[in-house]
Amino acid sequence: MYALEVNELRKTYGNGVEALKGISLTVEEGDFFALLGPNGAGKSTLIGIVSSLVNASSGETKVFGTSVQQQRSLAMSHIGLVPQELNFNQFEKPLEIVVNQAGYYGIPRGVALERAEKYLRQLNLWDKAENISRTLSGGMKRRLMIARAMMNEPRLLILDEPTAGVDIEIRRSMWDFIREINDQGTTVILTTHYLEEAESLCRNIAIIDHGEIIKNTDMKSLLATLDVETFVLDLRESISHCPFVEGMEIVVRDEKTLEASLPKQKSLNNLFAELDRQGVHVLSMRNKANRLEELFMGLVDKSQANGGAA
């Protein structure tokens, strides 16, 4: 059974904007699935329809085989949602917010209090449980929304840019938490603009643009299609001219930094050996952009050049 099954889903808003143009998609149970796309691509509309906040114009959405349109209540009992925007009452306390959320799923107060402690502790919020929520930092507020979404222990957790504006340390701790949840069997759908996040966490991916799915595959296969990778090389000494290595494109960024673009079939050993032979010594190296980011940009550019359909 699929955790999520979307068939020919369309959404046209009242102002005539066609946000989804008949998309179909499946997410396997237990998967860690990335839903990527530029701003305005239709990701949030899709998540809105799955979580019943947006009414579809046509098509069907099933969560663990239950139709969101036909049996909303049962379908919603499987879902936990972490939305993009803060949507809790900032005058309430974190403990109140998460315990109330459990109540909306019919979870008795005693159980809700136990779960609240468990998830607020896991997300390092327990010592803030009785503070007024608006006094929490941005990162804490985001973690509070994750704790709230976990209160019904959902089979499908949807995270819409959960780490936006969060510092790297907290972001990594959030990744660990979400990874653990997924390891325990919860299906996770993640949208993010940090492609490094999607690459490191997700096993399958769909890229959506202009309301259409332009790529839907597993992460490994997608990354394998990357033809050229660009590396930034920091040099020990300044160079006066750009070195030449056959079959690779090398650009001088400044006198102590080079950018080298390598086709997939070329080895990094060749590059280093050739640079060494020309007296260029490399101190350190990093990817110019995340691999997924390069692919993503390529796919989206191609889609936009084709007027929306890749």
**Smallest separation (angstroms) from another protein to the CB of 165:** 17
Site residues for another protein per CB under 8 A: 13, 48, 51-55, 72-74, 76-77, 79, 81, 83, 85-91, 96, 100-101, 103-109, 148
| Closest residue by Cα to residue 34 from 229, 182, 184, 225 | 182
**Smallest separation (angstroms) from another protein to the CB of 86:** 8
H or E element that contains 179 = helix 168-183
**Smallest separation (angstroms) from another protein to the CB of 97:** 8
**Smallest separation (angstroms) from another protein to the CB of 52:** 6
Integer-rounded Cα Rg, in Å, for the chain is: 23
Q: Given the complex with another protein, which of 142 and 148 has the nearer CB atom?
A: 148
Q: Given the complex with another protein, which of 55 and 238 has the nearer CB atom?
A: 55
Contacts of 168 (CB under 8 A, 6+ apart): none
Q: Given the complex with another protein, which of 27 and 112 has the nearer CB atom?
A: 112
Contacts of 156 (CB under 8 A, 6+ apart): 3, 4, 27, 63, 64, 78, 79, 80, 186, 187, 188, 189
Q: Are 190 and 32 in contact (CB under 8 A)?
A: yes
Strands 2-12 and 79-82: unpaired
Q: Given the complex with another protein, which of 149 and 299 has the nearer CB atom?
A: 149
**Smallest separation (angstroms) from another protein to the CB of 247:** 52
Q: Given the complex with another protein, which of 81 and 205 has the nearer CB atom?
A: 81
